[in-house]
Structure 1
């Protein structure tokens, strides 16, 4: 019997025992989902290497039919691109200064992006929660299963991490914010500034300051760009995970939105750069 179960079993107080049993059960349930995902991914890799379901079954002591079933059951391998447990999504908030009790308010574009990300996570058997960080606030980056949808101008410590990317830079001049592809020298300014319903956005997996992992980051030159990134993930997360796994990378995404839609729904999205990798990634 698992040591955690034995610990709960030996608790005398029934209330405490019930509470702890619930906690351990939840951990086991989530762990079981992740193990099912890991097994499915491993089986897919064996199939990709040229092995048949029959050969795999013989090695694992199961039938060919059972192998076929396991290849279809459990969370999709690509869910690991977002996380392995409840995903925390950080969005920026602007403080309403005209209220007696000013609170950070999230822009509609950010809420739309979060809603689409939440739906994507749900299809991958992941729950989500979100946090609002006021402009100029501190984002707690040293944690697992973190996605940040927040422009660099909103958080000083986030801006420092973004600046560690040598391939792509967020920059600002007299004209405004823009993205610079340092590999090609090309500058990407938002077509929105000229009245076109298009934007560019930065997508990256960046290092946590504590050096113990990474977090997924997306930010448009304008907020609608974040919805463009989520739209791209909705269509390509499977191939992105097969290509990138959990490696650090950065890229620029272009999106087009419907100017007649009250929520500026995304019509299309595409990569306009390669996936750039830092040295050693």
Structure 2
């Protein structure tokens, strides 16, 4: 690290020096934040294994008082559910009925706003990328979240085929459902029956390049996509405790206010299914 700093100091061009220093500061700060999270999680794990504060202090080489301070400092462990740095969030555009122009559904915008607030509570910033039809998005990126399903993103549909349990299917009537192959139950959106409920596929899928994963909240309708985010608002710590950074999928059902289209309640409709890999 010090060698890199010395190299920056020796850059003759002042603009290049300032630009390089700014980039390294951002990278180092992101690393410091993640190291703080790892340390806090490690202290939690040692405590859960039955080690006393004195034993932990001796093992790590810090005072008992300092260990007590560090136990609650830094981001919470579940921050790692999203990754180790700021998030890139992809949202899809759809063709507006009657006007033929691409737009982002209001519920999807709300989903992004809710995710932005949730991420900020874990010291993560977000950048939104809007993808027009036919939904050709680059999924080969770290810390990526996709808000939308197979209707908007063909590549997401292909990657969801790797899910051994939950399967999106389009009926002959053009309506979508999710089949749970373990139970044989087919989950449909109650919104299509005039009810104020929707469902979403929430999971971590492999990237097309095989070099990582990405998160996806894919509703049958945009309200469902928002529901996946709403579920994380209350269940992130529990979900992270179950699956950490591994691949998984589950279905989330949500209830929404028909006047505002804001999700008011979200809960799991299936178990959390862990995937191999």
Taking structure 1 as the reference length, the TM-score comes to: 0.93
Q: Please name the residue that 1:173 is paired with.
A: 171
Q: Does 1:277 align with 2:274?
A: yes
Q: Please name the residue that 2:185 is paired with.
A: 186
Against the structure 1 CA distance between its residues 103 and 191, is the aligned structure 2 distance closer, same or farther, given a 3 Å change threshold?
closer
Q: Please name the residue that 2:69 is paired with.
A: 69
Write out aligned runs for 1:100-179 (5 A): 104-175=102-173, 176-179=175-178
What is the distance in 1 between the residues matched to 2:11 and 2:258?
61
Give unpaired runs (5+ residues) of structure 2.
Answer: none
Does the Cα contact within 8 Å between 2:107 and 2:262 map onto a contact in 1?
no
List structure 1 segments (4+ residues) > 3 angstroms apart after TM superposition: 95-99
The count of corresponding residues between Structure 1 and Structure 2 is 276
Does the Cα contact within 8 Å between 2:110 and 2:226 map onto a contact in 1?
yes
Q: Please name the residue that 1:38 is paired with.
A: 38
**How far apart are residue 245 of structure 1 and its match?**
0.5
SS of 2:39's partner is: helix
Against the structure 1 CA distance between its residues 103 and 66, is the aligned structure 2 distance closer, same or farther, given a 3 Å change threshold?
farther
**How far apart are residue 104 of structure 1 and its match?**
3.3
**How far apart are residue 96 of structure 1 and its match?**
5.7
Q: Deviations over 1:152-194 (max 9, x none)?
A: 0112222111122120111111341111111100011111111
What is the distance in 1 between the residues matched to 2:225 and 2:153?
16
Q: Does 1:13 align with 2:10?
A: no
Against the structure 1 CA distance between its residues 116 and 64, is the aligned structure 2 distance closer, same or farther, given a 3 Å change threshold?
same
More divergent stretch after superposition (211-220 vs 12-21): 12-21
Does the Cα contact within 8 Å between 2:92 and 2:130 map onto a contact in 1?
yes
Q: CA RMSD in A?
A: 1.7
Does the Cα contact within 8 Å between 1:104 and 1:133 map onto a contact in 2?
no
Q: Deviations over 1:105-139 (max 9, x none)?
A: 21101001000000000000000011111121211
What is the distance in 2 between the residues matched to 1:16 and 1:92?
36
What is the distance in 1 between the residues matched to 2:155 and 2:164?
17
Q: Please name the residue that 1:3 is paired with.
A: 3
What is the distance in 2 between the residues matched to 1:273 and 1:97?
33
Give unpaired runs (5+ residues) of structure 1.
Answer: none
Does the Cα contact within 8 Å between 1:167 and 1:183 map onto a contact in 2?
yes
What is the distance in 2 between the residues matched to 1:131 and 1:95?
17
More divergent stretch after superposition (103-112 vs 143-152): 103-112
Does the Cα contact within 8 Å between 2:203 and 2:248 map onto a contact in 1?
yes
